[in-house]
């Protein structure tokens, strides 16, 4: 009966959520809803079985973890194996769960009051963490006084899971932005990676026009209608599109206008080539039809996945351009990423905290392992000094890029990202498309975006 009730609650909650969020949330099909119910039922059975085993043995304590993608699953399994080797009375059980399903289940169990149905630990996308923390604070354990050294992580990363000065998450993967360029293409135009380091966007545009003229190659690639690069520019300059009360603040936001003008210039001058979808974006990098890209450091995996032999050794990493003369502008930003949370309903809080303190928040050996085996880059600052992070990469011109990336992470400005990130992103994507398509001027497009967000979030 309990499972039938939970299945019903999940289905109802998903319908309510989709109706409220509109196009800003991915619509779940009937098959997806059924899959989510089946996964939840299977997980409940697995958890009950693990609990029974632990009780029978009287020794083993199980920490159940939800996270998505084999990349994240393998990283957590590595952490689990390392911890279990020193703590045989604890078992870390990892259950692969789609990111959107985790969000749906967190909302469902919070609304139904069935918090004990949540796992001990779950992964949450950085871009929605604050939203769920504000809407369902009862789901998250307060980790502020847990002994975890949050100062060992990039401050901008930690900020994603902080509310009212309290910590509710343990940072995971690096979302530090890097600029990656083909050095062979730059050389053809008479430039080196040093010419693109610590520069402004105006300087970048000048170089980009010259490179395009001499090689026929655009400097950058991006997915059309996705304002990810725009948001990177904003954060690098310390510019928020939300006010201190969390209200959307696009109109009369001069920093936003300057950042949008940069993006528009890049496209109109042919320096940035927009792709129709993510596949086209990856293809433009792997097929060598662009000089480079600016994105989260996880883009390194895409760059190195190419089967084009001539690319090996011809890539270099540096920081992104800064927003010209904007006060407080830097060459550092963030994009994407995720953070671990501990459920408030867990009976294993102490074990969960100790697990994190000795792996994700306390072991450079662990980070060396997942970097070497999985290519997972840390936002854990002490990792920058490890041997693994200081090893050179033949693919990136023999440079120690991972140590560089971690050092960049410590310089990213922290901004107020609000809780309506997905709504803001969608509206700004439409605004850019309207301006570039000639159907609107910049001020009108921004005003329309403001109205759209306010309508969608009920302000």
The confidence score (pLDDT) of residue 58 equals 56
- Is residue 226 classed as helix, strand or coil in its secondary structure? coil
Show the domains of the chain with their CATH numbers. 2-168+338-369 (3.40.190.10), 177-333+413-457 (3.40.190.10)
What's the confidence (pLDDT) of residue 91? 97
124 Cβ contact partners less than 8 Å away, ≥ 6 residues apart: 102, 103, 106, 132, 161, 169, 338, 339, 340, 341
What is the model's pLDDT at position 374? 86
Q: Which residues contact 110 (CB under 8 A, 6 or more apart)?
A: 135, 136, 138, 139
Per-residue pLDDT at 56: 44
Instruction: Report the pLDDT value the prediction gives residue 336, as an integer from 0 to 100.
Output: 82
123: which strand partners? Answer: 340
- Kindly report the pTM of this predicted structure: 0.78
The confidence score (pLDDT) of residue 117 equals 96
How far apart, in whole angstroms, are the C-alpha atoms of residue 350 and residue 355? 8
pLDDT of residue 3: 38
- The answer to whether 435 touches 260, Cβ cutoff 8 Å, is yes
pLDDT at position 50, please? Answer: 43
Tens of pLDDT, residue by residue over 50-65, are 443 443 455 789 999 9
Query: 413 — phi, psi (to 5°)?
Result: -65, 145
Nearest to 338 by CA among 376, 300, 382: 376
| Per-residue confidence (pLDDT) for residue 122, from 0 to 100 | 98
Cα dihedral sign for 130, 132, 135, 137?
A: negative
Q: Which residues contact 352 (CB under 8 A, 6 or more apart)?
A: 63, 120, 121, 141, 342, 346
- Minimal CA–CA distance to 65: which of 79, 55, 53? 79
Q: What is the pLDDT along the chain (459 residues), one digit of tens a residue?
A: 333 334 433 443 433 333 333 333 333 333 444 444 444 444 444 444 444 344 345 578 999 999 998 889 999 999 999 999 999 999 999 999 999 999 999 999 999 999 999 999 999 999 899 999 999 999 999 999 999 999 999 888 999 999 999 999 999 988 899 999 999 999 999 999 999 999 999 999 999 999 999 999 999 999 998 999 999 999 999 999 999 888 899 999 999 999 999 999 999 999 999 999 999 999 999 999 999 999 999 898 889 888 788 899 999 999 999 999 999 999 999 998 899 999 999 999 999 999 999 999 999 999 999 998 888 888 899 988 888 999 999 999 999 999 999 899 889 998 888 888 888 999 999 999 999 999 999 999 999 999 999 998 876
Contact assessment for residue 177 and residue 236, using Cβ atoms and an 8 Å cutoff: yes
Altogether, the residues listed in the chain come to a count of 459
Q: Contacts from 76-85 at CB under 8 Å and sequence distance 24+?
A: 78/366, 78/369, 78/370, 78/373, 78/374, 79/355, 79/359, 79/360, 79/366, 79/370, 82/359, 82/363, 82/365, 82/366, 82/369, 83/355, 83/358, 83/359
| Structure confidence at residue 368 (pLDDT) | 94
Give bridge partners of residue 318 from the DSSP assignment: 179
120/137 Cα distance (integer angstroms): 15
Q: What is the C-alpha radius of gyration for the chain, rounded to an integer number of angstroms?
A: 23
Q: What is the DSSP letter of 245?
A: T
The answer to whether 392 and 217 are in contact (CB under 8 A) is no
Q: Which residues contact 367 (CB under 8 A, 6 or more apart)?
A: 376, 378, 380, 383, 386, 388, 389
């Amino acid at each position: 009966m309990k499972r039938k009730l939970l299945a019903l609650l999940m289905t109802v909650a998903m319908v309510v959520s989709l109706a409220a969020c509109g196009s800003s949330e991915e619509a779940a099909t009937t098959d997806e809803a059924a899959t989510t119910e089946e996964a939840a039922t299977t997980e409940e059975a697995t958890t009950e079985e693990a609990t029974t085993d632990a009780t029978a043995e009287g020794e083993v304590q199980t920490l159940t973890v939800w996270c998505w993608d084999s990349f994240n699953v393998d990283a957590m399994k590595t952490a689990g194996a390392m911890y279990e080797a020193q703590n045989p009375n604890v078992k870390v059980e990892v259950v692969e769960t789609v990111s959107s399903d985790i969000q749906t289940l967190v909302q469902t169990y919070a609304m139904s009051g069935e918090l004990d149905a949540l796992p001990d630990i779950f992964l949450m996308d950085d871009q929605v963490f604050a939203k769920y923390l504000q809407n369902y604070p009862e789901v998250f354990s307060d980790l502020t006084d847990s002994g975890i050294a949050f100062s060992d992580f990039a401050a901008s990363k930690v900020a994603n899971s902080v509310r009212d000065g309290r910590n509710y998450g343990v940072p995971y993967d690096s979302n530090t932005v890097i600029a990656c360029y083909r050095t062979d293409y730059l050389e053809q135009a008479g430039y080196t990676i040093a010419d693109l380091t610590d520069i402004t966007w105006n300087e970048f545009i000048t170089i980009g026009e010259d490179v395009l003229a001499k090689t026929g190659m655009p400097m950058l690639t991006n997915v059309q209608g996705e304002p990810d690069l725009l948001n990177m520019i904003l954060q690098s300059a310390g510019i928020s599109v939300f006010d201190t009360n969390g209200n959307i603040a696009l109109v009369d936001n001069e920093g936003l206008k300057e950042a949008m003008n940069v993006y528009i210039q890049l496209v109109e001058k042919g320096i940035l080539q927009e792709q129709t979808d993510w596949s086209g974006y990856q293809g433009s990098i792997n097929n060598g039809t662009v000089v480079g890209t600016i994105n989260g450091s996880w883009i390194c995996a895409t760059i190195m996945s190419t089967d084009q032999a001539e690319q090996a050794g011809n890539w270099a990493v540096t920081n992104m351009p800064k927003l010209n003369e904007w006060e407080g502008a830097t060459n550092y930003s963030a994009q994407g990423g995720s953070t671990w949370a501990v459920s408030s309903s867990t009976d294993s809080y102490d074990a969960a905290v100790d697990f994190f303190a000795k792996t994700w928040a306390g072991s450079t050996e662990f980070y060396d392992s997942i970097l070497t085996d999985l290519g997972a880059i840390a936002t854990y600052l002490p990792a920058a000094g490890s041997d693994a992070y200081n090893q050179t990469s033949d693919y990136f011109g023999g440079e120690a890029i991972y140590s560089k990336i971690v050092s960049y992470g410590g310089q990213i400005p922290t901004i107020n990202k609000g809780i309506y990130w997905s709504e803001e992103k969608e509206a700004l994507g439409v605004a850019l498309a309207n301006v570039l398509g000639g159907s609107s001027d910049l001020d009108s497009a921004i005003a329309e975006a403001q109205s759209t967000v306010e309508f969608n979030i009920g302000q």
